[in-house]
Structure 1
């Protein structure tokens, strides 16, 4: 970790920072940080960067299918499947950026960009994902509010783990080791969730458009595989693509909050601390930025969701210095280090250990 890194339980300084009574200074802290970021011009659109990325990824997507057609019935198609997973993950990141209004000044343009990149290229529902992800941003790591820590196959909070019995309890005690293998199923899970919501949520905006995009994309994809490849190779192609796609997306989102403190349901805290104290940045350079879609700057992204992705790196020193100035702990570690924390955290949660990961915001919510 860097010199500003913290353990998920947070040191005494962090506890004191969030235990202080709310003051006028605390309620205006974020405004001061926002002013500094705006003065640096970091909220301005980056049209050239995004158009370049979208054109490059569209070209790469087309190139993958040209290679698929030229190879024909060959086991080398598994390399094409891996390349397709990488390109689809990049479209997922671009769809994420558009959904956050990072790409265009126009909300309409951003919405359509998200629908097309998520639906037509990645086979995901932007409407479903956007609703879920916005809830996460409004209350990250907060019990009862953040859907990313809601009960599921993995128990992300002690309360969920302790309610499980039998095989569920046995699995929860070892779930940290299973978490990353489970990411191999994340791609399939995302497609299934998209289809389920589109089938059930008739009130979803532009539902019919998304149905055409998502169902057409997925059905057309499977049809093309079966037209060119025998069933066994088609299944292998699909397994490689879905597995790697899930690992790339899930492996980019998992390090950002898992293993950071869980916020109790009734806790109230100012925006700056709510976003910073439960988020974790990842070390790395341009390659890490590309592989993680900018999510390695999770603190800056949560503080300024509409900030264009290429500006997050430039905002980092401003945000880190400001957090040091106001006494808010700023966590940053390596990618491998973050994965170790995730595995350790999930195993200890499954064993019912509450104290090491109790959020210091518990105390502030009781004052």
Structure 2
């Protein structure tokens, strides 16, 4: 718990305590200290907190947490600050320059797991504030932790005063959304029709299988998985019952036992994606080498702060990125197989982790049991097809039918900015800059699960998905008043934007190859002379 005294802290004091190892962030006018036990037990994962050390996290904290949780946070307040009219002048989280705290010799010590590369340009794609992480080759024996200079942000192309204005306006918008009752879950009108749709898909798949219409059965099973993902998405954001235990239990049954995917992995991954959307180093949802690169920054073999590994841009990556715009839909159609891999890797890494959420480790073991059950019934379905050819067909079709979901997710972000504008950037500015909506007719909205309204979802992640349309009108009004872009494209136009982005990166790679070949040729000719 926090200290009883609530003295007035200066920015310098916050910086000193961070360098000493304290995990501090700003919530309204308060300095909140996150204990190591809280950091370990945070249901949203450790990384999501590390991104806000030294920053004003008020908008993000209130967007992702219930009022009950916010009240509990008051017990962790250790001081107060004077934010001022222009807002809190943020510090740069040590995590953004590769620093983390690890247990060494029985004590928590600073450890630099990667090295920062600061932008030498000041372009729209690589502003002066941009920091990318590269693999750290050699340990620096002289460095015992981050320096004061390393947690001082580089000059940003944004005005702190204007970003504070956006933040204040967003807080008012959040009050309007709450007062409008948009956090109330429409169980009957929203989920009623969906439950009917789930049952129709499941029953149709079963009946078709019994009649040995294996292709039809596989299509219906894939459709069921496709639709259930949207429900699991809501549960993962605590957007259904708004109770962690209830929502997590339901999501495990649907995701693990029926769908074969780990909801624990998805929540851990998805929370980070929401916080650092489209950041090449930090957002796992755009880290898809060797198959996709949406910015030339990936040519540098960046370090992923989420996966804790180098994203190597090797010869195979070079070949795949050169043709990524041509293979996009082929690869996306098989994306679900990669989700299985990520699910199992996550659960394996978590096997010895401390308790990650209230209720203990029951959720972890329920997931393990669910995946064992899924493998049992799904492999039985495949064997029951009668031949390996029919089983392979069933496997591919059932896993490819949900692929429009992956296309939709890609549309929402791939064509948007990947620049790092520094910790000065406000929550609403970042989400509007990196996210777009997919326009569709209400009659086919169920195919998108309501998540075609990604801009509003990113601003209000706990909002029940069936209320996103009503909330989007308020968000559009907010964006217009603040002079911010609210990006939205039709499905076809959105696909065109994504393919154009992929082709643009592929073309830059080609140009780099031409330049490199010319330089080699010039060097060889000079050597002959």
Q: Quickly name the TM-score band, shorter chain normalised.
A: 0.7 to 0.9
Counterpart-to-counterpart distance in 1, 2:189 and 2:276: 30
CA distance in structure 1 between the partners assigned to 2:448 and 2:218 by the alignment: 19
C-alpha deviations, 1:125-175, integer Å up to 9, x for none? 000111000000011112322111225221232111355353422321221
1:206-240 CA-to-partner distances (Å, cap 9, x unmatched) read 22210111231133111122124322111111111
1:331: how far off? Answer: 0.5
1:117 to 225, 247, 254: 254
Question: How does 1:169-184 map onto structure 2 within 5 Å?
Answer: 169-184=318-333
The aligned residue for residue 241 of structure 1 is 398
Matching residue within 346, 368, 373 for 1:216: 373
Paired residue for 1:272, among 410, 423, 428? Answer: 428
The answer on whether the counterparts of 1:187 and 1:243 sit within 8 Å (CA) in structure 2 is yes
Moved more, 280-289 or 131-140: 280-289
1:299 aligns to 2:455 (yes or no): yes
Contact 1:143 1:265 in 2 (8 A): no
Aligned to 2:167: 27
Instruction: Map 1:86-105 to 2 at 5 A.
Output: 86-105=223-242
1:310 aligns with 2:466: yes
Alignment of 1:75-224 (within 5 A): 76-153=213-290, 154-161=292-299, 163=301, 164-202=313-351, 203=353, 205=361, 206-224=363-381
1:44 paired to 2:184:
yes
**Which has more radius of gyration?**
2
Deviation string 1:88-140 (CA, Å, 9 cap, x unpaired) is: 11111110111011111322111111111111221110001110000000111
Shift of 1:196: 2.5
Please state how far the C-alpha of 1:82 moved relative to its aligned partner: 1.1
SS in 1 for 2:280: coil
CA deviation after TM superposition for structure 1 residue 244, in Å: 1.8
Which of the two has greater strand per residue? 2
Tell me the distance in 2 between the aligned counterparts of 1:286 and 1:301: 17
In structure 2, the gaps of 5 or more residues are 1-123, 126-156, 302-312, 510-529
List per-residue Cα deviations over 1:251-288 (Å, max 9, x = no partner).
Answer: 12111011101032745311111111111101112244
Give the aligned partner of residue 358 of structure 1. none
CA distance in 2, matches of 1:54, 1:217: 22
- Structure (1/2) with the larger helix percentage: 1
Summarize deviations over 1:41-61 as a string: whole Å, max 9, x none: 212122224542563244235
Q: Paired residues, what number? A: 334
Which of 40, 59, 73 is the matching residue for 2:199? 59
SS at match of 2:384: helix
Instruction: Report the CA distance between 1:35 and its aligned residue.
Output: 1.7
User: How far apart in 2 are the matches of 1:141 and 1:327?
Assistant: 21
Any idea what SS the aligned residue of 2:434 has?
Answer: coil
User: Given that residues 161 and 352 in structure 1 are in contact (C-alpha distance below 8 angstroms), is that contact kept between their aligned partners in structure 2?
Assistant: no
Larger deviation: 188-197 or 84-93? Answer: 188-197
Gaps of 5+ in 1: 1-8, 11-17, 354-367
How far apart, CA to CA, are the structure 2 residues paired with 1:169 and 1:147?
20
Write out the 4+ residue segments of structure 1 that deviate beyond 6 Å after TM superposition. Answer: none
Q: Closer, same or farther in 2 for the Cα pair 1:46/1:151, shift >3 Å?
A: same
- 1:71 maps to which of 204, 208, 211: 211
Question: What is the rounded CA distance, in whole Å, between the counterparts of 1:175 and 1:162 in structure 2?
Answer: 18
| Aligned match of 2:307 | none
Higher relative contact order (CA 8 A, sep 6+): 1
